[in-house]
Amino acid sequence: MLNPMEMAKDIVVNGVIPDDERVWVPQAENVWFRPLCLSTRQGYWVNLLRVRKSGILSRHRHPAPVHGYVIEGKWHYLEHDWMATAGSYVFEPPGETHTLTVPADVPQMITLFHITGAMIYVDEAGKVTAYEDVFAKIEMCRKHYIACGLGAEFVDQFIR
């Protein structure tokens, strides 16, 4: 046997941007995510984030690094003066608090994010209001996939 018994199964997602709209999991108004890899062993997740019509991803902070690759459209953080355009790579350092915003003239943005640890939602004073870790993302997926008819087990293909 060439591979170790304990090795996780690989994942191949053909059509990262899905034809089936139901694959997108609602996150907030005008905000959805599409799971690709949900790592319960290492506590990270890889997903596409889609934001339409000047949507906002609430102010949040990360305890661990985030890497992003912008596939379509553009977005920025209220706290920075740069713009992440299609083709851009973004590194979000642990400890930073930011609010992701899509300009009004951008109909849709899609970005691939690799998020380790959690999204920690905070208020203006930096007080924690909510958080999402990989387990919360899995629960969001399950709930949505049950409701839309894809079935609870649809999310299992992304979990490692």
Segment 90-149, which members bind Fe ion (CB under 5 A)? 92
Stretch that binds Fe ion, among 17-25, 29-37, 44-52, 85-93 (CB under 5 A): 85-93
Segment interacting with Fe ion, rule: CB under 5 A, options 9-17, 41-49, 87-95, 139-147: 87-95
Minimum distance of Fe ion from residue 49's CB (angstroms): 9
Rounded to whole angstroms, how far apart are CA atoms 127 and 81? 24
Compute the least distance from the CB of residue 60 to Fe ion, in Å: 6
- Which part of the chain contacts Fe ion (CB under 5 A), choosing from 6-14, 27-35, 47-55, 89-97? 89-97
C-beta closer to Fe ion: residue 75 or 154? 75
C-alpha to C-alpha distance for 159 and 139, rounded to whole angstroms: 12
Q: Which two tokens stand for residue 37?
A: 């890899």
Count of residues in contact with Fe ion, rule CB under 5 A: 1
**139 contact partners, CB below 8 Å, separation of at least 6:** none
Look up residue 121 and give its two tokens. 């939602």
- Pull the structure tokens for residue 3: 């591979």
Nearer to Fe ion, 101 or 154 (CB): 101
Q: Nearest distance from residue 110's CB to Fe ion, in Å?
A: 16
Closest residue to Fe ion, based on beta-carbon distance: 92
Whole-number CA gyration radius for the chain: 16
Q: How far is the CB of 37 from Fe ion (least distance, A)?
A: 18
Q: How many other C-beta atoms lie within 10 A of the C-beta of residue 66? A: 20
Residue 36: enclosing H or E segment and its boundaries? Answer: strand 31-39
* Residue 136 CB, nearest approach to Fe ion (Å): 15
Sign of the dihedral defined by the CA atoms of residues 88, 90, 97, 31, in that order: positive
Binding site for Fe ion (CB under 5 A): 92
